[in-house]
Chains A and B, each alone.
Chain A
């Protein structure tokens, strides 16, 4: 087990290493000049040369990279080229927004997707199943930003025009200041994101449950006279869980990138919108930090999934020992 975890951690570090090299090389070959970005259009050559020396941009790329990694290990991720603020401060202001968005959406999509999947699988071919399947295929096909824009139009703009304010147009209120306002501001983005992702879970749950419900031990459980509820949730759903956990790990890991569009549509100033603006402004330190943060998200989520697997499935536990 320890060896398995170490191997996974090693692979995660390799992913982060390659990601950082990728972004570094990418910006190195980019035609934009950081010194020009910092100093502005009217800067003299001398000033720009000074800036390059100060930032170490006159060094060869591997020296720059090693400096970057050295600073990173000391907890220093540099300063934004545009605002001059420390990147950590920028991220610190943005991460709570994105985390709130992801947290609520995950809870909602599990709460929507899994029951639909189970209900479908209990009565395959029924009307309920057809509705569930229909929901799933529409959800899978719906581009998130289209759904978000439609939600804003139907649930914010039209009611507001009619004089009823159901939802705010977007924006964010910190949880610590006003928990209700926090939820009220996030409910549309949460629902939008959750509906799209829940569709995937409804399908996956249905497929898994159908497979498990057809097994002999379920028949045995029925023969023992267990209640249908007990069979569904304790016996069948437990076995159907591992693939769902894997999918959840993948989805949460990729969420940092996945919320970009939602943040844009709902005007949430989270990490995703920071990524978009920084990329547009060629703000290299910020982009590198966000891409690496995204990588950390994926790596950590995968690790947690691997560990959860061992908890959920005793076969993994014994095999890996």
Chain B
């Protein structure tokens, strides 16, 4: 991280003007903290800018779902069997009335897409944040205490990692009944392990560093050392991992919904829209039913993955010097 190693201004030419410029430059250098440097690096990366734009557009689209519904005059679960379906019951394609086509019940794909975006974003963000909190706490505690605490926590992590998660998730959801909170809980349960491992490793490397010794000799409590001294050093991996967890959580939710085990129809989610399309291979004649939600899903996951990569490079430029950094 860029520490503010501000050298004392040493004006070689003692004209008042150059001294003033030097002082101002020095002030500029000091003012640019690590966050503003990070943003400056992000701004120079077209992929990051593009992905932030895509994410913001999808967020706006999700928040504006009621507006979309009002504008088209189609509710998200409203069926228009007269106008949305052909006389033989085939959904109509993109048209003036249904901008992105209709689905097998004559519902407006555009409106459902907007409401489905709410689900994807909600599940993706909430599940990732919850999973990263668990991962960080487990990782910090395991790495900091070491010994038996570490052994127990690491074994639990290994255990969760060795579970065939999709099989267990579908068994769990099938028995308890699908719902939004359960989907989130299942995703959180199977997502925290990767971050816990990374954080544990980092904490183990940090725990014998001088600044931790210093805090300890000043009488800081263990909780204080963990959260005040060690945690701030882990901000980079936490931000990057959490960002990269969002797309996997979104795909996980879509997969559960696709299998009929996520969001309960008729509430739209991108996953169950794709399930509707797959049902009876309907998408082969109604391509928009897969291209629209599938494309939106791909755009959102791609944007988060690109943003995660961009954030990693921007937050930790040392790791990416010379084209390195996987």
Chain A residues close to B by CB (< 8 Å): 11-12, 14-15, 18-19, 22-23, 26-27, 29-30, 32, 124-125, 129, 137-138, 140-143, 145-146, 149-150, 152-153, 157, 169, 203-204, 206-208, 210-211, 214, 250, 253-254, 256-258, 260-261, 264-265, 275-276, 279-280, 282, 287, 290-291, 294-295, 297-299, 302
Contacts and interface: CB of A to CB of B under 8 A. Distances in A.
B171 A254 contact: no
Contact of A125 (B158, B302, B305, B323): B323
A33 to B, nearest CB: 13
Given A142-B298, A149-B278, A137 B305 contact: yes
Contact of B164 (A27, A138, A254, A265): A254
B255 A138 contact: no
A260 B301 contact: no
Nearest to A207: B326
23 contacts: A11-B155, A11-B158, A15-B163, A26-B171, A30-B176, A32-B175, A124-B322, A125-B323, A129-B323, A142-B298, A143-B301, A145-B274, A145-B278, A149-B290, A149-B294, A153-B287, A210-B323, A253-B162, A261-B258, A264-B258, A282-B175, A295-B162, A302-B162
A141 B254 contact: no
B172 A145 contact: no
Contact of B167 (A125, A140, A145, A257): A257
Contacts of B302: 137-138, 141
A291 B323 contact: no
Contacts of B158: 11
Nearest to B165: A257
Contacts of B155: 11
Contacts of B283: 149, 153
Nearest to B47: A137
Contacts of B305: 137, 140-141
B306 interface: yes
A1 B130 CA distance: 39
The B interface is mostly helix, strand or loop, or mixed, namely: helix
Interface string B292-311: 00100110011011100100
B166 interface: yes
B93 interface: no
Contact of A254 (B165, B170, B294): B165
B168 interface: yes
Contacts of B284: 152-153, 157
A261 B170 CA distance: 12
Contacts of A138: 302
Q: Which 7 pairs of residues, A with B, have the shortest CB-CB distance? A: A207-B326, A294-B164, A124-B323, A257-B166, A146-B294, A279-B174, A141-B301
Contacts of A291: 164, 167-168, 171
B167 A256 contact: yes
A206 B171 contact: no
A215 B279 CA distance: 53
B109 to A, nearest CB: 15
A27 B261 CA distance: 16
B17 interface: no
A5 to B, nearest CB: 16
Contacts of B167: 256-257, 260, 275, 290-291, 294
Interface string B129-173: 000000000000000000000000001001101111111101110
B229 to A, nearest CB: 30
Contacts of B44: none
